[in-house]
Amino acid sequence: MTLWHLGVAIECVQGDITQQADMAAIVNAANGALLPGGGVAGAIHRAAGPGLAQECRPLAPIRPGEAVLTGGHRLPNAHVIHCLGPVYGVDEPAPALLASCYRKALILCERHGAESVAFPAISTGIFGYPLAPAARIAVETVLATLPACPSVKRVRFVLFGAADLACYEQVLNEWKSGN
């Protein structure tokens, strides 16, 4: 589904974050060392090739809530934005740290002129953040940050599973009916 806000298309789709060829930037649910690892990070590094890990090395480590930008290497995207989400139950305050990832990623898009960006559900895999509250933070933070990012015209949430997509659609529908 697509929701329009301030002339920006907010989309949510089921899919693979490495297959978003029409997006200028994709976001990596990174680990602090910016190493390949599993989940989203593993998939992104596999698709990007070894040049990505090489570019990441001098940028690591990053702390929870931080975001750094690299090139896309063999990915079809110009940029990869690596965000370190909070480990649920460990990094506190988790909601603020998760919100910071989305906010800082959008601000990096603005700074680098990226008009479109695709996000995975940061922290909701290995890091254990429950999907529904994470989805609410993702959507609310993006909507609240867009006024500071006039270059960004398209934001896509890419969910791996059908249940995850349904959860995001519900959050977007609730927001739509409240505004």
List helix spans (H) across the chain: 39-48, 50-56, 94-112, 131-145, 162-177
Work out whether 127 is an interface residue with ligand ADP (CB under 6 A).
yes
Q: Which of 1, 6, 9, 16 binds ligand ADP (CB under 6 A)?
A: 16
Q: Does 157 bind ligand ADP (CB under 6 A)?
A: no
| CB of 72 closer than 8 Å to CB of 21 | no
**Which three-class secondary structure state does DSSP give residue 128?**
coil
Contacts (CB under 6 A) with ligand ADP, residues 94-113:
none
Under the binding rule (CB under 6 A), the answer on residue 36 touching ligand ADP is no
First-to-last C-alpha distance (Å) of the chain? 17
The Cα–Cα gap between 48 and 30 comes to: 14
Instruction: Give the residue, chosen from 10, 25, 40, 94, that forms a contact with ligand ADP under the rule CB under 6 A.
Output: 40
**CB of 133: closest distance to ligand ADP in angstroms?**
13
Identify the three-state secondary structure at position 18: helix
User: Does residue 17 interact with ligand ADP by CB under 6 A?
Assistant: yes
Nearer to ligand ADP, 151 or 169 (CB): 169
Binding test (CB under 6 A) with ligand ADP, winner from 43, 137, 138, 146: 43
Written as one string, the DSSP assignment of 89-113 is TTSSSHHHHHHHHHHHHHHHHHHHT
Contacting positions for ligand ADP (CB under 6 A): 16-18, 29, 39-41, 43, 85, 120-127, 158, 160, 164
